[in-house]
Every structure is written in structure tokens, then in C-alpha cells.
């Protein structure tokens, strides 16, 4: 009897605590599907999250709460919710989660994309916008872009005669040219010395690692398992190779071995490191390397995916293809290639690219955010530490904002003037608010020049069966590409007629 009484007395504090917790007002979370113990809603996400989340949002609303493993998560699926969230509470939504693979490969979050919101991020982003990826800096790499695009066109011309029997893998070639442009802009004439082929291979593996499933990002207490499942080894291998390449190139720049015409990005970063006002941002070489990783992760795959999705849609829409080719060929005249100075005369091509981005944003869920403080959106409470996804693909195809949203119709952008990236909440392929992508100018310069030359120099054809249509199946990852490579027949075009 004494033992029973003693147990009751010892249990009393716990009982009182549980009663108090039960009476505490729970936050009014956004609606969402019923969840299972431990895994929450993880089983409902599927292999193509942007598509399954669209279906869930249709049932539960444009502001939806999910429990993904241990992580409370909110999904935004409409322009009006995005506008309220990022206009009224942009600061609260300015955080980023510390993801397992990203944390290591970015040198401890010393990049811009995933750095925690704070003074370092503000200074690093300012460097990106003013020094690395400003319109003036992007223009200075014109010769790099034109040289690499000329090499792409020459390669396609060599393969064209046999492409009717062995179609050209345009997906592979476009990834190669976007990699080359980014690498030459970053490393200058030390790109080949760093091992261009090796760097391409490492960047490809890095994209695979960053875009793959990571249990530790869903169940943080499970991060130890990556020592057993091979992920830690993969991350360390990619990090080690990248670090070796960076160290080699930086050392050569410090010795003065680089003679880039306009100054590559490594030169710019090393110069800024000598500036006393930049010591907090560039106090160590790891900070320079972290920013370089940011340039590579954001500057290659997204541009390549945009080019390939645009070519896919043009082939599926012959009317649009014909108009785009006529515009490009009229602007270029008898020149053998489109130059950057010609791009100003190609408004329809810009509409085509915007329409492609609307239907196929490279990262359809954008980069995840994490709330830095509690806030209220749409009458619902969003606790601090909540992971946030913005479904850019759903927003870009919402019938409330777009007529016939699944139709590829570039003319819908004709009356809008220049798109104000990050401010138009109906169209957010590069993000929204203060954490929108700072590399838009760099990416679009590559995309426009590559597409203009592909359309000017060649007529294109997909080998399809009778009544068959070119597919738009997706392969989900950090960047969403076509599930199958885009393999085409190329017919060289010159001075108004095909020569094949």
C-alpha cells in the first residue's frame, strides 16, 4: 500500500504537466490530410512531389499543412497566398533548412542559396548582385557565351548528316554547353587546366547527390544512418573532388597564372578578399569556395533544363516554332550565327522562354524555406521552424490567373512588358521575395543565346510514330529534367534554305 501511494505521489508532477499541456491552446494550423504516426504524410508525397502536392492542395486548399516525418511543413499553392506570405511576412519566411548534403558541399552553408538569414547572407547576396552577377558583369562574359555556343553549333553540324538514323542527344549537349559557360565564367582560362571533363563529372554527381532522397532531412535524429547507407561517402567524395579543383584554380590565380580578358569570378572574389570592408564575408577560402559552389549548382542544370523544355514545347507546337524561327532568322539575316546584340530584336523568343518557364519551372517547388518566427497567413498560424514549399508549377498553371493554363501560348506575355522577377506572384519560376534567385541575368543570357542559335542554324524534327506526340514526362530532382533525353534530327539551315 505504501508503495502504491509513493508511486502516485511521484507521478503527480507528470500528471499535472500533462494536464497543463492538454489545456494549452494549440495553434490553428492550416488544413491538411490525416497523417500516420512517425512518418506523418510522407507516404503521400510520391516520386513527383509537385504533382502529388497539387492533388492534395486541390482537396485541402492553397495553404496546406503536412507532417513530413519529424518536419512540420506548409505548402503554398496559389498566388494570393504567396503574396500575403511574402509581402506581409517576408522576413519570417526568409530562413532556409540546414539540409544534410547541402551543408557539407556548401562549406557549412557559406553560400547564398542556403545560408541562414542574417548579416553574412545579406553581405554575400550583395556581393552576388553587385560584383558577381550584375548586368554589367554578365555582359562582360559575352565572348565566353558566344564562343561556347559556336562550339555547340559546330558539334551539331558535324553530327547532323547521320542524325536521321542516329538522332542527336540534345539534352546531353545542352548540359555540356551550360556547364562550359559557367565554368569558364568562374575559372577563366584555367578551366581546362582544372580538368574540364573531370569538373563536368563532379558537377553531375553533385546534382545527383543534392537532388536525391535524404532520410536525415526528414528525420534529423537519423542522420547517423548515412554512415551506413553510403550517402556520407558520396557526399564526402564529391566535396573532396570539388575542393581539390577549387584549391588548384585559386592557387593558380594567386600566382598570377590567369589572364582572363575581363576577369573571371575567382579573380573578383580574390580581389574582394583583400578589401577590409569584406573581411566578414571573405575571411576564409572556404567562404570563396562556398560561393563558387552556389554558382555551379544554380548556373548549369537550371539553364539546361529550361533550354530543353523550351525545345520540347516548340516541337510540340509547330506554329510557335515557325514564328520563333522566322523572328530569329530575320534578325540574324545572312550571318552564320546569332550574336548577343541581336537578342534585343527577339521579343517573341523571350515570350517563348517565359511560357516555357511557366509550364516547366526548373525547380517546381523552388528551394525550401524555413520560418524564422511564428506568423499568421490566411488566418492560420505558421509556427517558427516550419519548412515551407512554394509550388511554382501549380501557381503558374492556376486557371484563376491564366486562361487555358495548359496551352503553350507565348503571346500571353505580350502585354506585360518585361517580367519583374520575384514581384509577380502569378509567375515565380525563380522564386519570390528576398530569397529569390540572384542569378537570373546570368541564366537568361545563356538560355536566350543558345536557343536563338539552335533555332537559327537548324531545323529540328523528332522521330515519332504515326499519331505519336513528343512526351513531357518529368524526372524529379533538385532540377526537373525530361524523363528521357531529347533526341532529335537536325537539318542545317543557311541563308533561307535547308542544306542537308
Helix axes 440-457, 318-332, angle to 10 degrees: 90
Q: Closest Cα to residue 485, out of 202, 167, 160, 50?
A: 167
Q: What is the mean pLDDT of the segment spanning 286-294?
A: 93
CA-CA distance, 336 to 146, in Å (whole number)?
12
pLDDT-derived band of residue 9, with 50, 70 and 90 as boundaries? very low
The confidence score (pLDDT) of residue 190 equals 60
Give, in degrees to the nearest 5, the angle at Cα 262 between 258 and 263.
45
Residue 318 grid coordinates: 509547330
Phi-psi map region of 430: left, alpha, beta (phi>0 left; psi -120 to 50 alpha): alpha
Q: What is the mean pLDDT of the segment spanning 304-330?
A: 98
Mind listing the pLDDT tens digit for each residue in 331-366?
Answer: 998 888 999 999 999 999 999 999 999 999 999 999
Half-sphere exposure of 123 (CA within 13 A, CB side): 15
- Given the C-alpha cell 536521321, which residue does it identify? 164
Q: Closest Cα to residue 440, out of 456, 454, 427, 452?
A: 427
* CATH hierarchy code of domain 26-498: 1.10.630.10
Question: With DSSP H G I counted as helix, E B as strand and the rest as coil, what are the percentages for the chain, rounded to 5?
Answer: 55, 10, 35
Q: Closest Cα to residue 361, out of 455, 291, 279, 431?
A: 431
Please report which helix (H) or strand (E) contains residue 437, including its range: none
The confidence score (pLDDT) of residue 497 equals 54
Give, in degrees to the nearest 5, the angle at Cα 46 between 369 and 39.
70
102: Cβ contacts below 8 Å, ≥ 6 apart: 109, 114, 210
Q: Is the model's pLDDT at 261 over the cut of 80?
A: no
Q: What are the angstrom distances between the C-alpha of 37 and each of 44, 70, 447?
A: 13, 10, 45
CA-CA distance, 350 to 409, in Å (whole number)?
12
Task: Check the annotation: does 457 bind a ligand.
Answer: no
Q: What is the mean pLDDT of the segment spanning 413-428?
A: 75
Mind listing the pLDDT tens digit for each residue in 135-175?
Answer: 999 999 999 999 999 999 999 999 999 988 899 999 999 99
The confidence score (pLDDT) of residue 290 equals 94
3-state class (DSSP) for residue 385: coil
Q: Closest Cα to residue 491, out of 457, 452, 450, 451?
A: 457
Domain-wise residue ranges, the chain: 26-498
Length of the chain: 500
Residue 334 grid coordinates: 545572312
Q: Is the model's pLDDT at 399 over the cut of 60?
A: yes
Averaged pLDDT score across all residues of the chain? 89
Give the predicted TM-score (pTM) of the model: 0.91
Amino acid at each position: 500500500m505504501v508503495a502504491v501511494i509513493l508511486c502516485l505521489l511521484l507521478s503527480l508532477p507528470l500528471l499535472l504537466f500533462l494536464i497543463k499541456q492538454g489545456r494549452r491552446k494549440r495553434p490553428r494550423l492550416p488544413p491538411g490530410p490525416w497523417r500516420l504516426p512517425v512518418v506523418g504524410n510522407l507516404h503521400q508525397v510520391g516520386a513527383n512531389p509537385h504533382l502529388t502536392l497539387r492533388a492534395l492542395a486541390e482537396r485541402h486548399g492553397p495553404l496546406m499543412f503536412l507532417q513530413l516525418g519529424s518536419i512540420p511543413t506548409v505548402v503554398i499553392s496559389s498566388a494570393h497566398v504567396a503574396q500575403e506570405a511574402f509581402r506581409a511576412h517576408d522576413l519570417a519566411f526568409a530562413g532556409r533548412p540546414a539540409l544534410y548534403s547541402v551543408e557539407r558541399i556548401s562549406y557549412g552553408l557559406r553560400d547564398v542559396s542556403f545560408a541562414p538569414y542574417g548579416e553574412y547572407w545579406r553581405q554575400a547576396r550583395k556581393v552576388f548582385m553587385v560584383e558577381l552577377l550584375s548586368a554589367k558583369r554578365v555582359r562582360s562574359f559575352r565572348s565566353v557565351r558566344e564562343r561556347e555556343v559556336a562550339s555547340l553549333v559546330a558539334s551539331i553540324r558535324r553530327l547532323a548528316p547521320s542524325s536521321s538514323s542516329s538522332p542527336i542527344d540534345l539534352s546531353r549537349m545542352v548540359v555540356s554547353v551550360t556547364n562550359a559557360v559557367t565554368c569558364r565564367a568562374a575559372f577563366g582560362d584555367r578551366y581546362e587546366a582544372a580538368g574540364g571533363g573531370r569538373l563536368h563529372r563532379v558537377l553531375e554527381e553533385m546534382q545527383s547527390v543534392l537532388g536525391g532522397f535524404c532520410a536525415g532531412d526528414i528525420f534529423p535524429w537519423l542522420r547517423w544512418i548515412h554512415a551506413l547507407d553510403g550517402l556520407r561517402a558520396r557526399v564526402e567524395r564529391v566535396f573532396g573532388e570539388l575542393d581539390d579543383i577549387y584549391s588548384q584554380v585559386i592557387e593558380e590565380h594567386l600566382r598570377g597564372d590567369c589572364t582572363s580578358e575581363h576577369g573571371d569570378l575567382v579573380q573578383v572574389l580574390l580581389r574582394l578578399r583583400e578589401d577590409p570592408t569584406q573581411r566578414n564575408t571573405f575571411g576564409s577560402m572556404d567562404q570563396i569556395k562556398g560561393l563558387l559552389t552556389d554558382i555551379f549548382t544554380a548556373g548549369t542544370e537550371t539553364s539546361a533544363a529550361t533550354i530543353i523544355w523550351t525545345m520540347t514545347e516548340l516541337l510540340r507546337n509547330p506554329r510557335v516554332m515557325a514564328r520563333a524561327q522566322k523572328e530569329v532568322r530575320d534578325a540574324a539575316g545572312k550571318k552564320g550565327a546569332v550574336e548577343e546584340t541581336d537578342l534585343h530584336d527577339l521579343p517573341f523568343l523571350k515570350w517563348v522562354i517565359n511560357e516555357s518557364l511557366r509550364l516547366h519551372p526548373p525547380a517546381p517547388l523552388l528551394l525550401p524555406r524555413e520560418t524564422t518566427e511564428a506568423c499568421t497567413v490566411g488566418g492560420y498560424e505558421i509556427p517558427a521552424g516550419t519548412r515551407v514549399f512554394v509550388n511554382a508549377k501549380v501557381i503558374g498553371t492556376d486557371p484563376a490567373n491564366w486562361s487555358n493554363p495548359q496551352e503553350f501560348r507565348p503571346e500571353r506575355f505580350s502585354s506585360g512588358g518585361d517580367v519583374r522577377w520575384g514581384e509577380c506572384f502569378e509567375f515565380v519560376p525563380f522564386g519570390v521575395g528576398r530569397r529569390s534567385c540572384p542569378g537570373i541575368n546570368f541564366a537568361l543570357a545563356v538560355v536566350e543565346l543558345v536557343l536563338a542559335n539552335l533555332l537559327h542554324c537548324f531545323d529540328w524534327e523528332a522521330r515519332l510514330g504515326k499519331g505519336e506526340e513528343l512526351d513531357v514526362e518529368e524526372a524529379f530532382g533538385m532540377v526537373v529534367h525530361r524523363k528521357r533525353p531529347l533526341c532529335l534530327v537536325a537539318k542545317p539551315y543557311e541563308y533561307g534554305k535547308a542544306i542537308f
